Amino acid sequence: MHARPAAEFARRANSFRSAITLTNDGGRFSATSLIDILRAGLAQGSRLTIEAHGPDAEEAVDALTKLLEELQAQEARN
């Protein structure tokens, strides 16, 4: 994932009160940290798990999943 979409993802993740993590083959990363998202090395087609724990966990996972789909579609068009 490039820096601009990663920053957008981190901003959206920070809007929730839940603790949100991303997990892939490279490990576990904070979804609210731009540096962690970039370190995760997310690429088009890579597998990713979004986990959230807290009062708005379900809403957070749904919104971030939708955002990732939108970001992937934008990247595919470019």
Q: Which residues are catalytic?
A: 2
> Which residue bears the tokens 């981190």?
10
2 in Cβ contact with 42 (< 8 Å): no
Return phi, psi of residue 29, to 5°: -135, 150
Q: What is the CA radius of gyration of the chain?
A: 11
